[in-house]
Chains A and B, each alone.
Chain A
Amino acid sequence: MAITRQDVEKVALLARLQLSEAELATMSEQLAEIVGYVDHLAQVNTDGVEPMAHAIERSNVFRDDCVVESLPREEALAGAPHHDERGYLVPAVLGD
């Protein structure tokens, strides 16, 4: 499956990555090569095989509805790159 530069640009946006011209070129090549390799999975006969999303399959794992003390606000915000006393600050979110 050929991976076009446009594909790569679309994926880069979905992944929120900014790639330079050089990176776009290299990335296109490398992705094409890797995807070309994994493409051979298409030839493996998997009829009737259930997908395995978990390495060990468990079910019905729960916790009780108990309230546990939250992080103090200063601790929660301590690692935030940009914040005031109340919360995280990010460039304005539009279209709300």
Chain B
Amino acid sequence: MSILQRTACELVGSLRRGELSSAELTQACLDRIRAVDGQVGAFLRVDEQRALEQAEAIDQRRAKKQALGPLAGLPVAVKDVLCERGELTTCASRMLADFRPPYDSTVVAKLKAADAVLLGRTNMDEFAMGGSTENSAFQVTHNPWDLARTPGGSSGGSAACIAAGMTPLAIGTDTGGSIRQPAGLCGVVGMKPTYGRVSRYGLVAFASSLDQVGPMTHSVEDAALLVEVIAGHDPRDSTSLDEPVPQYSATVNEPLAGLRIGFAKEHFAEGLDAEVDQAVRAALEEYESLGAKVEEISLPHGKHGVATYYVIAPSEASSNLARYDGAHYGYRTDEQEMLIELAAQRKQLQAAGDQRGLDNLDSALVRMYRRTRAEGFGPEVKRRIMLGTYSLSAGYYDAYYLKALKVRRQIRQDYDRAFEKVDLIAGPITASPAFKLGEMTDDPLAMYLVDLYTVSANLAGIPGLCLPCGFTKAGLPIGLQLQARALDEERLLRGARMYEQATDWHKKRAPL
């Protein structure tokens, strides 16, 4: 097996035993990237020289028997939405195309402290808004299983680079499903921890009460290793949970006796692809054969999840993205052109004797803001900003934003009730496997509805994980989602690992 088909945990063993050097491993990744990323487009930037330097430095420290972090020598790809001091952090947007933050995000700092090798930055939907990575301002990412299809989104780049064997570890972010959905569509493992489990400091915000950073890997065991490194309380993030991080990697291989698994009857309604339905049900049967008790539960408010999410997330986003106005950092429109445009408009209005038009004409400052944001943002970002601004505006706040916050609580209460009877909730991750590039770009609402199975976990703040549970006849991956109580990552990982060890899906690699 090529080293690129091995899991991170297996590689850690080889690195420790000196069977493999980090430089060799990193070079193998870089070779693979050079070989296939032209077709996949997972990476926005790869810093070959820096990665090899980091790898060699780790190898030297290992040779000197110095203490090393838990990810020592392992290449990690990071979604281009987490700040790294002095490095470009673009969020796949023209608005931040040249932005270099003067500080590290907590997650990147932890990866560095764990001695990971930072391989490069992965493609994403602009500002994490999207479900296909087609909203990137820079490039399209293709699903390694079928290059004509999307890898999902918004962490499509991170999912694709794992699926294509370009790196053993990747970091994604999940606001409405953006780790879990691409994991499912790309046949890899992706986990969204409990809200607040991982620090958001340095994570460019999309929707503050929903965003979380999480691992994307070949296996659940790898996910446990990675999430353990990035989790933990951060005094710089007021929403970060002040709870100790269990040693997920130490317990992940221990199966759970007496596991109670629920499946929501609402998840198996009309609209679910027949092959997906079949694969997920087979997974439930597998759990039963492993000794778990499987029963039906109900999540009655789940059907309002997409609507609730698409009020709350754009509202918070419209506020979080207000700072991109060209004044202090990031892109600014060409001021000369702007002033010329404004002068021409003024002349026109004067000629027409339109006093009202003249009174309402943008000032230079306002015109700078408007042009900067029109030019810096793509259409999906603009759409969500408009939607969010509308939901929060006077007269609509109660009917939309406030209302959505109430339904959110009801969604959470559904989970609380369900978790009185079961420990994990299993179900589909998406209604269909990976869709074709361009298939939904003209239908924003249809794209939003893909998030049906994933948004509720973000709204409720609970952790969720997706792992492969089969393939369609056409060879497209099918994902199984597991959800757990808040702060119950250990059970979630162990439960997922039980299924993973009993099956072979995770060992399959894209034929690229």
Binding site for B on A (CB under 8 A): 3, 7-8, 11-19, 23, 27, 30-31, 33-35, 37-38, 40-42, 44, 46, 49-56, 58, 61, 63, 71, 75-76, 78-82, 88, 90-94
B364 with A35: CB separation less than 8 A:
no
Q: Which residues of B contact A55 (CB under 8 A)?
A: 195-196, 209-210, 239, 458-461
Q: Which residues of A contact B364 (CB under 8 A)?
A: 91-92
Q: Does B282 contact A (CB under 8 A)?
A: no
B445 with A33: CB separation less than 8 A:
yes
B387 with A31: CB separation less than 8 A:
yes
B407 with A16: CB separation less than 8 A:
no
B363 with A91: CB separation less than 8 A:
yes
**What is the minimal beta-carbon distance from A56 to any residue of chain B, in angstroms?**
5
B335 with A82: CB separation less than 8 A:
yes
A40 with B307: CB separation less than 8 A:
yes
- Among residues of B, the one whose C-beta sits closest to the C-beta of A94 is B363
Q: Give the bracket for the number of chain B residues in contact with chain A.
A: 35 or more
Bound form: Cα–Cα A80–B194 in Å: 36
**24 A–B contacts, CB within 8 A, in A order:** A13-B370, A14-B393, A15-B386, A17-B373, A17-B377, A17-B385, A18-B370, A31-B383, A35-B390, A37-B448, A38-B310, A38-B311, A40-B307, A41-B307, A42-B399, A44-B304, A46-B407, A51-B409, A56-B196, A56-B486, A75-B102, A79-B329, A81-B327, A91-B363
Interface residues of B in 351-385 (CB under 8 A from A): 363-371, 373-374, 377, 379, 382-383, 385
CB within 8 A of B406: which of A50, A61, A78? Answer: A50
B365 with A58: CB separation less than 8 A:
no
Given A52-B405, A80-B328, 11 more A-B residue pairs with CB atoms under 8 Å apart are: A11-B393, A18-B370, A30-B444, A37-B448, A40-B307, A41-B404, A55-B239, A56-B194, A79-B328, A90-B327, A91-B335
Most central of A51, A55, A61, A81 by chain B CB within 10 Å? A55
A44 with B102: CB separation less than 8 A:
no
Binding site for A on B (CB under 8 A): 98-100, 102, 194-196, 209-210, 235, 238-239, 241, 301, 304, 306-308, 310-311, 318, 322, 325-332, 335, 363-371, 373-374, 377, 379, 382-383, 385-387, 389-390, 393, 399-400, 402-410, 412, 444-445, 448, 458-461, 486
Q: Is the interface of B mostly helix, strand, loop or mixed?
A: helix
A51 with B405: CB separation less than 8 A:
yes
A27 with B307: CB separation less than 8 A:
no
Bound form: Cα–Cα A53–B393 in Å: 17
Bound form: Cα–Cα A75–B195 in Å: 32
Bound form: Cα–Cα A56–B385 in Å: 25
Most central of B210, B235, B370 by chain A CB within 10 Å? B370
Bound form: Cα–Cα A81–B385 in Å: 23
- Among residues of A, the one whose C-beta sits closest to the C-beta of B383 is A30
Known: A79-B99, A81-B332. A46 touches B307 (CB 8 A): no
Bound form: Cα–Cα A54–B399 in Å: 19
Bound form: Cα–Cα A82–B382 in Å: 24
Known: A18-B374, A41-B403. A54 touches B383 (CB 8 A): no
